[in-house]
Amino acid sequence: DIQMTQSPSTLSANVGDKVTLSCRASQNIRSGLAWYQQKPGKAPHLLIYRASILESGVPSRFSGSGSGTEFTLTISSLQPDDFATYYCQQYNTYPWTFGQGTKVEIK
Amino acid sequence: EVRLVESGGGLVQPGGSLRLSCAASGFILSSYEMNWVRQAPGKGLEWISNISSSAINTHYADSVKGRFTISRDNAKNSVYLQMSSLRAEDTAIYYCASGDLYFRYWGQGTLVTVSS
């Protein structure tokens, strides 16, 4: 199985900060990567797919980049609504696998 | 408005069985591949199974292969997960989610607790 490793596990930041979350795949997944946001008690919400395509309705402060084994999710200016846990997911090879998540919390 | 609603969760003893359902509305389920994703309490997400739109193809994570069976009834706009030989480590919120690669629509989840 392809292992997805996210870093950091927890990120403390202030409103207005630019934050970068990392996701590394254990093998080449080309651009087969999605990012999700999850808030406590809620289902995950798709933010980005194919590594860099913004899902409809998602604010443009979110962006994704990378290919192969290294990927990043950037929030250009952190908003109060963005404090949540973020997961990456690879869909290049079955079984689809998720990273362990990065929790973005208020500093 | 697209809505996916899971049901069928609950408390079950180890070794027992349970059948989860996912009903879709505002959404022609027959056009989409469907998935089950679970999340153990306080843990991350784990994809466990999917089924093609025609139900011809299914895939499973090794953790549930041979114990869980995914199925669908497009006429009823529903997807199912038959779970058997349940273990304590199957305790989780189970979400259904649409998509062949990534998951655009999610239900609110149903909690399965495996405990004696």
Question: What's the whole-number mean pLDDT along residues A29-55?
Answer: 98
Question: What's the whole-number mean pLDDT along residues B100-113?
Answer: 97
- In angstroms, the Cα distances linking A39 to A43, A87, A102, B45 are 7, 11, 12, 13
**Can you tell me the distance from the alpha carbon of B55 to that of A18, in angstroms, rounded to the nearest whole number?**
44
Q: What is the pLDDT of residues B19-61, one digit of tens each?
A: 999 999 998 888 999 999 999 999 999 999 999 999 999 999 9
**Can you tell me the distance from the alpha carbon of A15 to that of B85, in angstroms, rounded to the nearest whole number?**
47
**Can you tell me the distance from the alpha carbon of A31 to that of B102, in angstroms, rounded to the nearest whole number?**
12
- Residues within 8 A of B (CB atoms), A 29-88 only: 32, 34, 36, 38, 42-46, 49, 55, 87
Q: What is the pLDDT of residues B66-103, one digit of tens each?
A: 999 999 999 999 999 999 999 999 999 999 999 999 99
Q: Cβ neighbours of residue A15 under 8 Å, at least 6 residues apart? A: A78, A79, A80, A106
Q: Does the structure show a pLDDT above 90 at A89? A: yes
**Can you tell me the distance from the alpha carbon of B107 to that of B102, in angstroms, rounded to the nearest whole number?**
14
**Can you tell me the distance from the alpha carbon of A45 to that of B108, in angstroms, rounded to the nearest whole number?**
11
**Can you tell me the distance from the alpha carbon of B43 to that of B41, in angstroms, rounded to the nearest whole number?**
5
- Do the chains contact at B102 and A94, CB–CB below 8 Å? no
Q: What pLDDT score does B85 carry?
A: 98
% of chain A beyond a pLDDT of 90:
98
Q: Give A9-59 as a DSSP string.
A: SEEEE-TT--EEEEEEESS--TT-EEEEEE-TTS--EEEEETTTEEPTT--
Q: Which residues of B touch A89 (CB under 8 A)?
A: 45, 47, 102-103
Q: What pLDDT score does A29 carry?
A: 98
Question: What's the whole-number mean pLDDT along residues A42-51?
Answer: 98
